[in-house]
Chains A and B, each alone.
Chain A
Amino acid sequence: MGGSASLLPREALGEYQELTFLTKQEILLAYKRFSELLPKEERENACSARVPKSQILTLPELRANPFQHRICRVFSTSGNGDDSMSFEDFLDMLSVFSDSATLDIKSHYAFRIFDFDEDGTLDRSDLEKLVDCLTGQGEESRLSNAEMEQLIQNILEESDIDKDGTINLSEFQHVISRSPDFVRYDVLQLHGLSRGGLSGGFAGVGAELWVVVGQGYPVRGNRVLRELCKILSRTG
């Protein structure tokens, strides 16, 4: 399977390694999984093709995930709102979910995923939708109105510091930083196709991608952004 490796140009590979939290092997595996989602004729230009959302959702790792739609929406850079993902979006997602990404980044993305109405804060409706996702879709699996009210009241009590009735990013990150389960559970395992199918470039049974929701920040060490930051700090 050296063929898949050769399709990804070397300098692109190096660049992706620089820009994401993934290792070379993980990027190659991602490339392989991504090209499998494409129809055969488009596999040559996997780097520039876009995979429709329905295809992405067939990945077993996302299939059973209640936040699948939000994940696709958050990571997709498609301009026309169809939530299709390019290879770089895909890498973006995997890097955010890798185990080398920091808690900052993970909580940042978790916040964006949980922000259903995308207004920058988690208000009551966002929290309600979040709890509904957790307890399962379907009428009989939702909490009753009274229970939902009580639960959201408790959540806001625990995390809303400025008492404005919504949770913003900083409050969210503050809560997450003290949560013992966040690191353990926010890991998504992207399995290799089959143990036998992995080529010599991978480490055999260990070559699984660790994908962590909200724990990744794909652009690390991006010089342009850092310079921008410096400029801002000097002026602001």
Chain B
Amino acid sequence: GGGGRVPCCAPGRLPAPQPPCFLPLAEVFLPEETHGAAPVDFLQQLPSYQSALRRRATAGGGTQERRAAPQGPAGVNKQADVKHLSGGKQWRRTSSKSLKKVLSEVKEFSSYLKLWRHDIHSIEGKFGTGIQSYFSFLRFLVLLNFIIFILMFSFVTLPSIIAKYGMFNSSFAKIPPKNIEPHCTVYEPSGNKGLIYFYDYLKHLLSGTGFLEETSLFYGYYTIDATWISIVRYNVPLAYLLATFAYLALSLIWIISRSLEGFKQNLVHAEDQFQSYCNKVFAGWDFCITDPNAARLKHRSLRYELQTDLEEERLKRKIADRTTKEKLRIYSLRIFINVIVLAVLLGCFYSIYRATFFSQENSNGVSNMNFLVNLLVQYLPSIVITTANIVAPQIFSFLIRYEDYSPAFEIRMILCVFLRLASIGVLLFSLWSQISSCNTDMCKACGYNYELYPCWESQVGQEMYKLMIFDFIVILAVTLFVDFPRKLLVTHCSCKLLQWFGLKEFRISDNVLEIIYGQTICWIGTFFSPLLPAIATVKYFIIFYIKKVSLIHTQKPAARPFRASSSNFFFLLVLLIGLVLAFVPLGVSIAHIPSSKACGPFRNFNTSWAVVPHTILEFPKPLQQVLYGIASEAFAVPFFMVICLVMFYFIALARAHKRVAEQLKEQLAMEGRDKQFLIRKITEAQRHP
């Protein structure tokens, strides 16, 4: 066989394992022992093989001087170049190695500073990279919310507090709005009026009313039109609006930059179906694994990957083999099921709409209700949303089974994402229809329903606050009252039914959706409640530990491991959708609905957006003209056309690259056929010398 080694000159030295060029040594000296393997070794002289190696070596970098060494006879001519590693080359190699070491040490030091580095590392070791990506995502959100909080606090809350308390020689002015009907400006938050019972205090804390409404948590506190912080005039309304735009832009940029990496990987993965099986089998095992548990997980994930790939291939073949009759049957079934799914969705949305209506009508004012009932009514929209998000996915799972999609097409996930994010939209829509519902003339004069919503931004902020608190309570309650008892029952009670039920699986996608939902609420709510990001930061911080403890003690990792790279990209994509969704209500609130005249920094403006044109009017004339020019059609239309052209160029470039890649793949296949032909010829030539 081809296994014998050629010993070195002296015994006891490192024996020389056979380099590829020496495999035929036995055959060279014993020509009668030709068998199938021999002629194929000439493959190494084939130019395609050489060029593939060359391409590999240049991609790999600094080992070029050594790639020539173990070549076949054709490579021996290059041996002369590789005599000894000359002094210069050796120095270059050692210096590049030490540079690499320095860089890796710097990287390692900076990773010490990361939050929860050790926790996430241990989770990765025990549960694999899929679950670890969830916790990394959570850490990212904690940081994002913290930065947003710092932004809003330093530009909006801090100046307001300084001005209100008169620190640093500051003062503020409350300019009463002109040309506004006086009835629009009446706003009396039911603050500390007399003795407060403890449960009233709790009620106010949980629903953002009462004493909480007057604090800097909500929009109503910032009823300041201008401040002077020791001679410098600080424009609070403008700062408020610009800080809002800033945190939205910051979130957008940060998410996009994080997702670029995953996007590239996703694209490459999807394209390179060319050699996926060989790649997975020959290069599948990660040799860095030293922990037996991690090894077990890797085995499982490899098996799952191979099985899913094989299953997908079988399904593709099955789909391709479908007859027209079967296709008709499947499509009509799909249409029918999609109608049902649509009906379920509409039902959920309608119930959320009605619940919000009911809650708003009945929670305003009547304080002689029972404490618990009052709280229930206040939280009714949140309860309905959460219930819909628990029940509807189960229905979807049941229905989707009949639709016979390939496992790669995760339609259930898409529906769940849509349901989660659209619930918030429906709630806000319901709120707005109530705020803008105007029947009387007096109401029309204000532009919004001044009787029920004298300070409507604060009340929207309260709704967001309640959603966030309830979300947190639900996560806590589910962990304490469902997961832990379940674990206790399963371990101590040997009832067959319970054992079949088993421990809860940690489903990454559901958990991620949960936190994205919370983050979307935070983004929408921060405009109406500037300190909401701080609450979100604390909430996600605590959730990290809750989820970690719950995972370790009460749950088992899912039987179907995740592909971490694509899942990371998926999380960020859904987060991006949430952010874009948050733009819509904010845009409508800022630009369309008249700002409330009784509270807030935008009392003197028609809408919140109006502060920007107002500020521009104070700029010097040339600058004003430039800005007006940018906003005019004469600029916008050509700009839009240029952007379209650039986009078309890139799309064409991408298509061209794709075509080149296809052509190269075809060429590679042809080379294989060339090789076959040559091998046949060589074998024939050898047989008849």
Contact = CB atoms under 8 A, between A and B. Distances in A.
Contacts of A163: 676
A134 B299 contact: yes
Contacts of B28: 232, 236
Nearest to A19: B14
A163 to B, nearest CB: 7
Contacts of B689: none
Contacts of A121: 36-37
Given A143-B307, A159-B278, A170-B49, A185 B283 contact: yes
B9 interface: yes
21 contacts: A63-B290, A77-B5, A102-B63, A102-B67, A104-B71, A120-B1, A134-B299, A136-B296, A141-B300, A147-B306, A161-B675, A175-B278, A178-B52, A179-B275, A179-B283, A181-B283, A185-B287, A189-B290, A219-B17, A221-B82, A229-B79
A120 B101 contact: no
Contacts of A228: 6, 22
B15 A77 contact: yes
Given A102-B66, A219-B17, A141 B299 contact: yes
Interface of B: 1-3, 5-6, 8-9, 12-17, 19-23, 25, 28, 36-37, 40-41, 43-44, 49, 52-53, 55-57, 60, 63, 66-67, 69-71, 73-74, 76-77, 79, 82-85, 93-94, 97-98, 101, 104-105, 108, 268, 272, 274-275, 277-292, 294-296, 299-300, 302-303, 306-307, 310, 313-314, 672, 675-676, 679
User: Nearest 9 pairs between A and B by C-beta?
Assistant: A136-B299, A120-B2, A64-B295, A233-B73, A182-B283, A170-B43, A135-B303, A181-B283, A188-B287
B124 to A, nearest CB: 15
A95 B676 CA distance: 35
A218 B300 contact: no
Given A143-B306, A151-B306, A225-B6, A104 B67 contact: yes
Given A104-B53, A136-B299, A143-B307, A225 B19 contact: yes
Contacts of A178: 52, 274-275
Interface string A130-158: 11011110000101000100110011001
Contact of B105 (A172, A182, A205): A205
Interface string A66-102: 1100000000010000000000100110000000111
Contact of A64 (B5, B13, B272, B290): B290
A105 to B, nearest CB: 6
Interface of A: 15-16, 19-20, 23, 48, 60-61, 63-67, 77, 88, 91-92, 100-105, 108-110, 112, 114, 118-121, 127, 130-131, 133-136, 141, 143, 147, 150-151, 154-155, 158-159, 161-164, 168-189, 191, 203-206, 211-213, 217-222, 224-226, 228-230, 232-233, 236
Nearest to A188: B287
Chain A interface secondary structure, helix, strand, loop or mixed? helix
A134 B74 CA distance: 36
Contact of A174 (B49, B55, B84, B98): B49
Nearest to A75: B17
A182 B282 contact: yes
Contacts of A159: 278
Contact of B14 (A20, A112, A127, A230): A20
Contacts of A103: 53, 56-57, 60, 67
A162 B310 CA distance: 24
B658 to A, nearest CB: 18
Given A88-B14, A162-B679, A217-B19, A141 B303 contact: yes
A226 B642 CA distance: 62
B291 A64 contact: yes
B281 A181 contact: no
Contacts of A218: 14, 16-17
Contacts of A206: 101, 104-105
A226 B9 CA distance: 13
A177 B281 CA distance: 14
Contacts of B296: 136
Contacts of A127: 281
Given A110-B282, A181-B279, A102 B57 contact: yes
A66 B9 CA distance: 34
Contact of B282 (A170, A175, A230): A175
